[in-house]
């Protein structure tokens, strides 16, 4: 059982005012999205602490039990894929500890943003919706949300109005756009401030999406 996550970080160049915690996808690591941070050209960039945690290495069933960095186990690849729900909760606890560490530095929770791609998007959504204090927002890319049912009763009211950005590729063959839209529709029906974007791409990130993410963060960290 892992008690904490190793991280890749970009320290703020001026006074630390904001934090962005970005969670990678299955089999990647914290370096995966480090380069995108500079491409965002954020207005508040000099005051942002970027944190890219490494998921624990663990066996993944759909990859014949091979060990790789994963936030939780995936048991099958169907649209209604069975996943390791307990693993999602465990990873959410580890990410919550990183949020707590930033808060202990004096960063207000409403200045802490969660972002994630694919599996990392699941953990960003689950952690953010469960967190007891209002966060800045969530960016969930090419992802879905297998814990929607328990979150309906376990979510934190503090984050009911938190802005959520969801982006997905129309040609995604890893996490279907239908799965992403299903999560968006439920969150929207529950009253969350969630916006949906789709792009002509596969299971990846494109220039247009990066521009939209930049606009989203600049609105929040203004």
pLDDT tens figures, 47-82: 999 999 999 999 999 888 999 999 999 987 765 567
Cβ(125)–Cβ(157) below 8 Å: no
In a domain, 162, yes or no: yes
Which residue in the list 203, 204, 212, 214 is annotated as catalytic? 203
How many structural domains comprise the chain? 1
Task: For residue 171, give Cα distances in angstroms to 80, 116, 178, 187, 202.
Answer: 18, 19, 11, 23, 4
Known catalytic residue at 118:
yes
> What confidence category does residue 1 fall into, taking pLDDT thresholds of 50, 70 and 90?
very low
In a domain, 1, yes or no: no
Mean pLDDT of 195-218: 97
Sheet with 163-169, edge to edge strand ranges? 7-10, 48-53, 18-23, 112-117, 137-141, 163-169, 193-199
Helix residue ranges per DSSP H, the chain: 34-39, 85-104, 119-130, 148-154, 177-189, 207-220
d(CA 157, CA 159): 5
pLDDT tens figures, 92-134: 999 999 999 999 999 999 999 999 999 999 999 999 999 999 9
Query: Range of 47's domain?
Result: 7-220
Q: Report the CATH number at residue 117.
A: 3.40.50.1820
Task: For residue 128, give Cα distances in angstroms to 50, 60, 75, 76, 113.
Answer: 17, 25, 24, 26, 9
As to burial, measured by CB atoms within 10 angstroms (0-12 exposed, 13-18 middle, 19+ buried), residue 18 is: buried
Known catalytic residue at 203:
yes
Angle at which helix 85-104 crosses helix 119-130, to 10 degrees, equals: 60
In a domain, 2, yes or no: no
In a domain, 207, yes or no: yes
In a domain, 26, yes or no: yes
Closest CA to 166 of 109, 110, 222, 128: 128
**Does residue 201 carry a pLDDT above 70?**
yes
pLDDT tens figures, 137-171: 999 999 999 999 999 899 999 999 999 999 999 99
In a domain, 31, yes or no: yes
Which residue in the list 32, 73, 91, 118 is annotated as catalytic? 118
């Amino acid at each position: 059982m892992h008690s904490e996550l190793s991280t890749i970080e970009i320290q703020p160049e001026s006074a630390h005012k904001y934090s962005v915690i970005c969670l990678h996808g299955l089999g990647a690591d914290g370096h995966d999205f480090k380069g995108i941070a500079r491409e965002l050209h954020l207005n508040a960039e000099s005051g942002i602490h970027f944190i890219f945690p490494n998921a624990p290495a663990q066996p993944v069933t759909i990859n014949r039990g091979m060990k790789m960095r994963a936030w939780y186990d995936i048991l099958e690849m169907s649209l209604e894929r069975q996943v390791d729900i307990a693993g999602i909760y465990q990873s959410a606890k580890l990410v919550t500890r990183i949020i707590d560490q930033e808060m202990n530095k004096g960063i207000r929770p409403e200045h802490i943003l969660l972002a994630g791609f694919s599996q990392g998007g699941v953990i960003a959504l689950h952690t953010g919706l469960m967190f007891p204090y209002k966060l800045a927002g969530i960016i969930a890319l090419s992802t879905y949300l297998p814990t929607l049912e328990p979150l309906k009763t376990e979510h934190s009211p503090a984050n009911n109005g938190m802005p959520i950005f969801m982006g997905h590729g129309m040609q995604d063959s890893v996490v279907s756009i239908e799965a992403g839209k299903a999560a968006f529709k439920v969150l929207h029906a529950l009253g969350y401030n969630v916006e949906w974007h789709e792009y002509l791409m596969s299971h990846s990130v494109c220039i247009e999406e990066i521009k939209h993410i930049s606009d989203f963060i600049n609105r929040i960290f203004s």
